[in-house]
Structure 1
Amino acid sequence: MATLYLIRHGQASFGAEDYDKLSELGCRQASAVGRYLAAHGIYLDAAYSGNLLRQRETTELALASQPQAVPHQIDSRFNEVRNDEQIEHLVPRIVESNPAIRALMEKGLSQSKDYQKVIEAVFNYWVSPQCDAAGIQSWEDYAGGVRDALGDLVREQGSGKTVAVFTSGGTIATAVSQVLGLGGEHAYKFYEPVFNCSITQLFYSGDKISLSYFNDRSFLQLMGRETDENLVTYR
């Protein structure tokens, strides 16, 4: 039996010119998850991440607390869902039949909660059979990439290993829905609630992967109390 941790990146810089980097709070979250792993004797044999900056920064900060150097492999199949691409190409179709989303787009997506409502509508349309938009990554290609990346990791690492994948909410949601045998229409249910730097634990043996727990952030709550800081965020 081997253990695989799916860890979401720390808080990114929503509203900043460059979203794809950790905020100051995101850096502290990433360091906290690293201290948590080390303090509880979770020593990693390997780490993986996508190539997004926020994922790589989280990996580096978390691995700094490991007692020995941990090999870090970058695999773009662990990147986030391409939200900006989907908004650009799919929102014009969605607003034709969804006045609520039209109103939000006209208002502007300056608030995180409004952005999330649009992401929900876009994601659920993207995974549906009705979506046939050309020129963007399809759900089938994205989900297949996540499935293949996990399969390759399991085969590369083999039994008895402890491995972490530092990735994003959409990737975690996709992987969990696949492990549970659910289709894309269920993936968003796991996407929206994923906390920054939360941990999802999987076990694998051979080609079989099982879910142990999902989206744990209790350690961030406890560590935040020690420093009188709220380390728990969604966005």
Structure 2
Amino acid sequence: MATLYLFRHGQASFGADDYDKLSDLGCRQAEVLGHYLRDHGIELDAAYSGGLLRQRETAALALASQPRSVPHHIDKRFDEVRNDEQIKYLVPTVATANPRIQALVDKGLSSSKDYQKVIEAVFTHWVSPACDEPRIQSWADYSGAVRSALRDVMTVQGSGKTVGVFTSGGTIATIVTQVLGLSGEHAYKFYEPIFNCSVTQLFYSGDKVSLSYFNDRSFLQVLGGQREEQLVSYR
């Protein structure tokens, strides 16, 4: 039996010129995640992340508290769902069927809540059989790459290991959906509620994998309360 932790990255810089970097809060969340792992004796044998900066920054800040150096492997199959390209190419189709989405787009999506509503509508269309847009990565290609990345990690690391994967909400949701044997239409149900720097735990043995717990952010609540910091965020 081996343990695999899925860590969502800390809060990114929504609204900034470069979204793909941690905000000040995101950096603090990643540091506290590292403290939590250290203080509870969770020592990683290996770490993986996607290639996105916010994922790599979260990994670096959290791994800094490990008692020994942890090999950190970059695998772009753990990158996030390509939300920007989906909005660019799928919104016209989705908005035609849903004027509410068009109204949000017309407002400019400066609000994170408005942006998330559009993401939900676009993601739901993307995973459906009705989506045949050739200019974007398909759900089949994306989810297949995520599945193979997880399988490769389990194969390479083998039994008895404790492994951390620093990734994003869409990727975690996809993995959980696959582990539970659900179709893609269920993925957004796990995507939307994922907290920044939350922890999801899997157990695996050979090619068998099971979900232990999902989206735990209680350590951020507890440690934040002790230090009089608000550390919990969705976006």
The verdict on a shared fold, with TM-score over 0.5 as the criterion, is: yes
Partner SS state of residue 186, structure 1: helix
**What CA distance in whole angstroms lies between the structure 2 residues aligned with 1:229 and 1:122?**
34
Answering whether residue 183 of structure 2 is matched by residue 179 of structure 1, we say: no
Partner SS state of residue 96, structure 1: helix
Partner SS state of residue 96, structure 2: coil
Answering whether residue 54 of structure 2 is matched by residue 62 of structure 1, we say: no
TM-score of the superposed pair, with normalisation by structure 1:
1.00
Amino acid at match of 2:164: A
The equivalent residue for 1:201 is: 201
Amino acid at match of 2:109: L
The equivalent residue for 1:124 is: 124
Amino acid at match of 2:155: R
Amino acid at match of 2:233: T
**What CA distance in whole angstroms lies between the structure 2 residues aligned with 1:34 and 1:2?**
20
**What CA distance in whole angstroms lies between the structure 2 residues aligned with 1:199 and 1:73?**
19
**What CA distance in whole angstroms lies between the structure 2 residues aligned with 1:229 and 1:112?**
22
Q: Any stretches of 5+ residues in structure 2 without a counterpart?
A: none
The equivalent residue for 1:36 is: 36
**What CA distance in whole angstroms lies between the structure 1 residues aligned with 2:227 and 2:11?**
18
Query: What number of residue pairs does the alignment pair up?
Result: 235
For residues 179-228 of structure 1, the C-alpha deviation after alignment (integer angstroms, 9 at most, x for no partner) is 00000000000000000000000000010000000000000000101111
The equivalent residue for 1:158 is: 158
**What CA distance in whole angstroms lies between the structure 2 residues aligned with 1:13 and 1:105?**
20
Answering whether residue 232 of structure 2 is matched by residue 228 of structure 1, we say: no
TM-score of the superposed pair, with normalisation by structure 2:
1.00
Q: Any stretches of 5+ residues in structure 1 without a counterpart?
A: none
Deviation at 1:108, TM superposition (A): 1.1
**What CA distance in whole angstroms lies between the structure 2 residues aligned with 1:30 and 1:135?**
34
Amino acid at match of 1:21: K
Answering whether residue 75 of structure 2 is matched by residue 88 of structure 1, we say: no
Q: Give % identity.
A: 74
Deviation at 1:229, TM superposition (A): 1.1
Deviation at 1:124, TM superposition (A): 0.3
Partner SS state of residue 203, structure 1: strand
Partner SS state of residue 95, structure 1: helix
Amino acid at match of 1:81: V
Q: Segments of 4+ in structure 1 off by > 4 A? A: none
CA RMSD of aligned residues (A): 0.4
The equivalent residue for 1:4 is: 4
